[in-house]
A and B are shown apart, each in its own frame.
Chain A
Amino acid sequence: MLTLVRRRTLAQWRLLEGIVALVTLGTALLGVGALLMGPTQDRSFTAGVEETTPQQTAVTAFIGGVKASDAVAVRDAARAVIADALRPLDPTFTSSATSRMRRLGDGQRLGYLVSTTSLPERAALTSGRWADGAGETVVPEAAASRLHLAVGDRISVGREIGTRPVENSVSLVVVGIFRAASRTGWERDPLAGSGYDAAYTDGSLPRLSPTYGPFVVDDATFLATGSTIDALQVTGNPTLTRATNQSMNAAVGALRSADGLLSAQVVDQVDISRVASDLPETLSQVHAQQAATRSTLLVVLLLGTVMALTALLLAGRLLGDVRASERALLADLGLGRDQLVVSTLAEVLFIAGAATVLAVPVAALVHSAVTHLPALAAAGLSQRPAVTPGLVLVEVASAILLALALVIPMVGTARLGSRAARAAQSGVDLLLGVVAIAAWWQLHSQPPTATTDDATLILAPVVCVVAVTVLAVRWAPVLLAAVAWAASRSTALVLPLATSQAARRPYGGAALALLAMATASATFGLALQTTWDRSQDDQAALRVGTDLSFALSTPATDREAAAIAAATRGLATSAVIDRPLALGQYVGSGEDDSAPVLVAADSRRAGTLLRGRLDQGRTWTTIGDLLAPGPAVVGLPLSTGGVTVKGSAPRGVPIEVTPTLLVQDASGFRRSVSADAVPLDGRSHVLAGTGHLEGAHLVAAQLTLSGRTTPGATSVTVDLSVRTPDAGAVRDWHVEKLGAPDTPVTGAAASVTSSAGATTVRTTVQLDLGFLAYADGDVLVTGFKRPAALPVAVSERLADVVGTKVGGTISATVEGVPVPLQIVAVIPTVPSAPGRVAVLADADTLSRILIGLGHLEPVVDAWWVADPAPKTARDLTRLDLGEVTTRTGVAAQLEQGPLRAMVPAALVLLVVAAGLLLLAGAALVVGADRPARSAEVARLRALGLTRRQVTRLVLVEHGILLGLVVVTGAAVGVVASVALGPSLVRSDVGVAPVPAAVLVWPWGRESAVVVGALVGCLLIATVITFVVVRRSGPEQLRAADS
């Protein structure tokens, strides 16, 4: 028997070669998949964790109410608890201590001391050096400018406020001035890194106080002050290069008990203590991303396995057909079925062994090549070829599994009668249809927030593609028969004969299914990859909201605005307000992203600036038009002469005015300029600090009137004059009372007059002098009319949760100022606030409303830039004013991040594997019956067909069949892509993306794939046809009919 097997193997070596190649291909594919899901995913885990921000993985102990004498012990205890939790990750530590508020000087001004080891990472020095000696301090730029501090100056930080305060003052020398590098890292700072707050309160202070800080000193200096520590933070940062799934899981597990451990240790020394970390959430997100990537890999592997199994079933059947007569002969000679099975198994195991030997190095090499693809290499996932015991084990198992698929068709099974076969086929078709619909339905109805390994995500596409392919190819013979019938009426020879042959040859479902499935998988994989890519771009566009976002670390000043304007000269830019929003009674649903947010930008540039997909054919330009602020605010142009104030009050009534001017620069940036009090004495006073405002425009002014005088009513006038020849152009100035309804101001009016070279805004105020003795009177004059409501486009989510629609109004609060919102549009989502409860407004309109309600401080949080040059991002980064985020950068991170880069790579792998299996299948279909076909060609030649005619006949027959099946497969790919593609795309946290993915059908590449498949199949058919025709000769005329 062994001799028979050996000799037969030698005789049929060509066919067996092909089968070994097929098993090798399938086995190698599974091996590559195993390597991608094993070592590469492990590597991607570490790389992905390394890419997280320190805030995402840091573990921080927050401790409040610590005496200076206990500080060191408490800090050590916290450090020990964190170190224990993060032991496998060898953490490094930073700590900071924030003192209770202290008096600055004699007034209401407050300041606070901080000792921190992480300041250089969170801030940039603008002058001087970091403090590292006793009595030295560095101060924020905003505090330094307002306190008129420079390097080398001394400042005295006075007694603490609150109960049982530390009384002694601290004298510090300023050695450096810094600016917060970004908003992150300053969340726990009392002033959030801004350095100054004109009206600070922590809830315990008796009144709002101007507050400055932090005054950063070294640890020894801090402890020497004896300050009560309001907040002590000890932060452990894990060494992420050591992060593995196991070590991270262990750390997260240990963190659960860290809080209790710390509390137990320091309960007697502190008011409160808490250990907090985003590490569990971060790890959960990493796992979710891994699961999403793994889902795609498994889809690719399952499709590849199904195709390989189909190819092997086909190969087994063809081999079985070739050996049918031999099998019958052996059966006649007395060979039992068991013996046949045993001999077949032996042969199959030999094939599996040969395939394993080949597949192991092939898998290692292909895996290495895949990890060297640019995206994976950039993500740090490149690996050298390596043969591991795990790979060998997978390959052996895969080869045996795949090779076993050969056994049944090779041994042969009883065939059903035609009626029974039709009934069975109908039943199978029905079942396939039901299964495909069920899989599609399951995929569509799954919750968009599913983040774990989801069997639906993996199985649904495979089931649908396989089932629809099998059903679709059932129609191929029917269609061919119709073509054959139509062609049969012609007098031609080749086409009718070729179509008839193509329609009636017993190719078998497996052959057609393999070819169609391979084409479907390739087109589906390509469409899914393109859809996935586009979705990442869409997510990035919506996440950033524009092409480049420059988020300021602290509120902008005019100098910074000018620097930003210089860096973005010639580009479409907009100052952006991005603030939390209180919407009536709605404060969020408790989910992290449910808190309402306001995004306001320059609506006149919306079409150029804003990114993100809109629906119903709308564009950002049309949305921007709905939000437009109306005519621009012009104001009064300022000259070198500054602003002059002349006030008059009745004689003997000592009243003074403190003006706060609001000026607007050429870019539209508005800021307030405070001036000293001026007596209303009928004389002109040039306001100090207004002489350098040339080029800017005065757009508003707040006039604070004060004075202690006898009760009664009077009228005063305040003239604000600018020396500008053409200032008279804008005469429409408005005045409003500010503050509570009860105010010393009982009436006010404004008028504008022009004289030669000067323009004057006169404000006439009626005052209740008795009231004025107790409270100041504030009026605001503006060069524009305050809008009654803020037109906004609201996100669909907001419209849903608040239950509003276009035309409705909502009362909202921005920065503590009540702002009525008028809804002019509902949009899918607001740029930079994907999927959130958010409103989009015009920044200028919002600014006018806030100014009109007395909020004169700049509210610019960021700058948005459209179509930036590469150097723009670099220039802005160099300004050290905040963080630059680009849409392309975020898209690249989403597409090529270590946890994500494998998704497109896996889909490319699917396309390649499908292409190879398609060609292998085509070779099997066309070449398997080569001997019989040669005999047939010989007979046709004997009938008088020329060599050319017979070549065309065979070629056209193969071409029609392969072409039809490839086109059918492409159609299945289209159906699968439309039905499933968008549902399979996941965001970087493994949930349904925002905005929802939409199918992108890459016509060019899809056409190339289909044409490539056709050309490849036809090339194979051509080669084999020429071989068949060449080998057909008279010696085959006696061959038995096939």
Chain B
Amino acid sequence: MVVARGLTRTYGSGPGTVHALQDVSFDVAPGEMVALVGRSGSGKTTLLNLIGGLDQPDSGTVRVDGTEVTGLDDEGLSQLRRDSVSYVFQTFGLVPALTAAENVGVPLRLRRTPAVEREKRVALLLELVGLRDHADQRPSELSGGQQQRVAIARSLAGSPRLLIADEPTGQLDAETGLGVMGLLRGLVESEGVTAVVSTHDPVMMALADRVLTISDGRLT
């Protein structure tokens, strides 16, 4: 599903140059759940951003589901994110002004899904993450765990092939984080999604099919 080869990403120049990634290569098989671990600043987020096409490497390539991500233009990248790749952010990334259901419905609107079908899908996904009764609540009215579950539901709304989650439990307490991780694991299996999850959490690592460790921009 994911084929990364020789990824290098550098920020800044001169003495203050930061080598975020240095010659990183790895593969992720379809349906696999990979945990990406490493200390803060090790390059996890950079690597996820390159996989999802949110950032461009200085060198190297990324192929997602056979598509050369690094060769796509802005429109192609948007289409990739719309159709194949979805994100779950550490800070949830919900639109504050929209309700839980509306947030989940954003990817469906991007695909111009008819209203009836969209509403059914949103209801199903909220049911899936256990938030059916919170559909009309706005993010500020939900707990951190609930917000992250909404974010996960949203990430699945467009039936992505690849789910990228950047420390999805980073802002949650241990118990809530555990619930979210279990949910992610379950959905990956039930929806047949490939997942790359950056995390510090040993439980998440345990739930993953494989763990990639990154240190100073290199996979170890």
Contacts from A to B (Cβ < 8 Å): 488-493, 496-497, 500-501, 503-505, 936, 939-947, 949, 1033-1034, 1037-1042
Contact = CB atoms under 8 A, between A and B. Distances in A.
Contacts of B52: 942
A946 B109 contact: no
Contacts of B183: none
A500 B102 contact: yes
B98 A500 contact: yes
A947 B79 CA distance: 12
A1041 B94 contact: yes
Interface string B72-93: 0011001111110011011111
Contacts of B92: 1041
27 contacts: A488-B102, A489-B115, A491-B109, A491-B113, A492-B109, A493-B106, A497-B106, A497-B109, A500-B98, A500-B102, A501-B98, A503-B97, A939-B87, A942-B52, A942-B89, A943-B107, A943-B110, A944-B78, A945-B78, A947-B74, A1033-B55, A1037-B49, A1037-B54, A1038-B45, A1038-B90, A1038-B91, A1041-B94
Contacts of A501: 95, 97-98
B19 interface: no
A939 B115 contact: no
Contact of B112 (A488, A491, A943, A1033): A491
B41 interface: no
A1034 to B, nearest CB: 4
Contacts of A488: 102
A946 B115 CA distance: 22
B138 interface: yes
A942 B87 contact: yes
A1034 B54 contact: yes
A941 B54 contact: yes
A606 to B, nearest CB: 66
A1039 B83 CA distance: 25
B81 A942 contact: yes
Given A490-B115, A497-B109, A942 B93 contact: yes
B96 interface: yes
A943 B106 contact: yes
Contacts of A949: 78
Interface residues of B, number: 40
B158 interface: yes
Contacts of B38: none
B91 A1041 contact: yes
B114 A497 contact: no
B54 A942 contact: yes
B66 to A, nearest CB: 18
Given A497-B109, A1041-B139, A491 B114 contact: yes
A938 to B, nearest CB: 8
B40 to A, nearest CB: 11
Residue among B74, B75, B97, B106 with most chain A CB within 10 A: B97
Contacts of B110: 493, 943-945
A1037 B49 CA distance: 10
Contacts of A936: 95-96
A501 B95 CA distance: 9
Given A504-B138, A943-B110, A945-B78, A1042 B87 contact: no
A1037 B82 contact: no
Interface string B41-65: 0000100010010110000000000
A1034 B49 contact: yes
Contacts of B45: 1034, 1037-1038
Given A491-B114, A942-B87, A1037 B93 contact: yes
B97 A944 contact: no
Given A490-B115, A944-B158, A945-B110, A1037 B96 contact: no
Contacts of B166: 1037-1038
A500 B54 CA distance: 26
5 residue pairs, one from A and one from B, having the closest CB atoms: A944-B82, A944-B81, A939-B93, A504-B97, A946-B78
Given A490-B115, A497-B106, A944-B107, A505 B54 contact: no
Contact of B91 (A491, A500, A1040): A1040
Contacts of B112: 491-493
Nearest to A505: B97
Nearest to A957: B97
Given A490-B115, A492-B109, A497-B109, A946 B98 contact: no
B141 to A, nearest CB: 11
Contacts of A944: 78-83, 107, 110, 158
B87 A943 contact: yes
Interface string B198-213: 0000000000000000
